[in-house]
Structure 1
């Protein structure tokens, strides 16, 4: 999905801006280009990053409510405009693709090699930063509904006050920093508010991107979504696959190059070829054939599954044995049998299936080409057996029964039980003396023996 989410880079010290001129009107910055910007900024600028992450954002917010991009009348962004004017180095990206903007925090975490700290302006003053060690400070900002212009204006004005408070605190600590202001997803804007150049550009690019935007909109609104990929053996449905997002990445010259397979996989008028797929009572193999993926004219994404009876549970289970990538004459294999499984009559569902960051898919060996690849499936669901009617069966979710909160409660309860048991044991070991010394009577004599 593509949208006009703008992105601002501000640096407290002068660095080389990644591009000599801002992007042209209507140009949409994709994920690979945004990654190169981040690489340049973080390699040459401060590695203390302040990320203002707004729930929704659109370029029209600044043209309607403020003067950050030229309109100086009745602005609700005085702090943001002041930061833009006083910054030693700045970069404004008027239009960034939604997948790229949504992945900013993950890219920053990888490049800085540190975990994000979710903070508010009050706690920032208690934190002492060090210019020699990187830090990723994330400040979440709300967004108005858009139906009430007054509430939207007040929300954006409040966000600007937060930005001003945070930047003032950073300036007081005299630590160099890089500030980034972006949004997680697009704001709803009336089509009439779109600039003419952008409207004509979208029309000229064809309908595939428009369809992808419509698909993502339906997913976000909880309405009808595209049907899953369905493989049939004759007239019988055999395999079903659906995901909110499918993407692969390859490591080339020390940099990860990404490719989103979602638009080419799901949709009423699109879908990969399934030649090579097969299924029977014990094994299933779903082959998604693509063209022109990361420079490879022929690319295959393969899901290999099997099912068998387990005596311990007295039922049949299916496992996703492997996810394979075939490109050219090379094959990369990720093993998933240890983590991805479900009863044979169920489907398997997981919010995130990846090969990195708490991976459910791992390379088959240390020398396998899969070590140069990453796969990311979001809101992933698959069923390789006992599928019928083009609909998934009851889903076996990957979420564990014991959440961190439950484990914390159990450990606290166990510690209290141990303390109570130790106290009772000490009380039971107390004994009284058999005789007591009476000061009014004769003293107790203890005969001595030689």
Structure 2
């Protein structure tokens, strides 16, 4: 029986994993086991299966898993039908929970976990949960197949029925073990490139602090920094402008961040370990970003850098980050350059950040405030377009005025009467 179940799960996983790369939401909760060390959950970035298992599921340390599989599930189902899934909402709010909006092939858990020593039990729709055979000493994976929602003409009723089945199963066997509960789908109920899908993408993008999050996110105390690319140190020789060496500090070498806020000053320390610097490897590289608050605004004063025991202090080459209102973040996709605070330094050293979003004097939660972008609304192309349009409007106005000032004859010759005589002498 176990072999047939494994074969059935293998075939279904292959069908959904090979022929389509569908992305579905995943809800995880546990009433007893608190998760730790979870990374930030991206709003738009797709999470593949290996990342989902290693970084998001493993921190729950699940010994027994109750996997609820629905035939189709999308983010829209969770956001548009909260009353139909009210039990799920209560469990997520009252437990240690995690919500992942876009996971690739999440149903592959049903095939993968048996290879990790889990005893698999499949509960088909309509089968009572009271008689499940759960082994006492082994890890157990209970796969609960929820009633079909695609064949139900009412999405409202289908989700309500799924919520009732989950509540019934958890009430029967959920208290028998320390279960980690997972709710996901085999495929999305809203197809990609449909109007609903495109609308979801637009809304999610509008709420994101940055369009790309390819670099590193750092959060400590009241300061948050999201680096869109690695920090680069630029060494220039004194005799030739062509003798330039650029060293990128790979964010994958970042260690734990730290920081402090006191009064009108705030700092965040971004630490890197075992960083290749030219021909040798630095044991530690630190960047200490220092911020200052004046009135209702904040600014970036400078960056204190240390490579092992060698310290340098960088000041912004331009006042990039200044005059930012408290409660708002600074965002810029363009490169920012920092120069040494000392003069006549040989060789010349610069620091470059190729895109960043940062916020100081804010709560420690991992969410940026509204973005104060480095590119203002009136950019050079906009100004050129406005001035050109105004110039054409001025020419048109002058032309219309001149046309309106032309005087035409008010009398004309009558062929049956006397001709009009215009005297040509005074």
TM-score, structure 1 length as denominator? 0.37
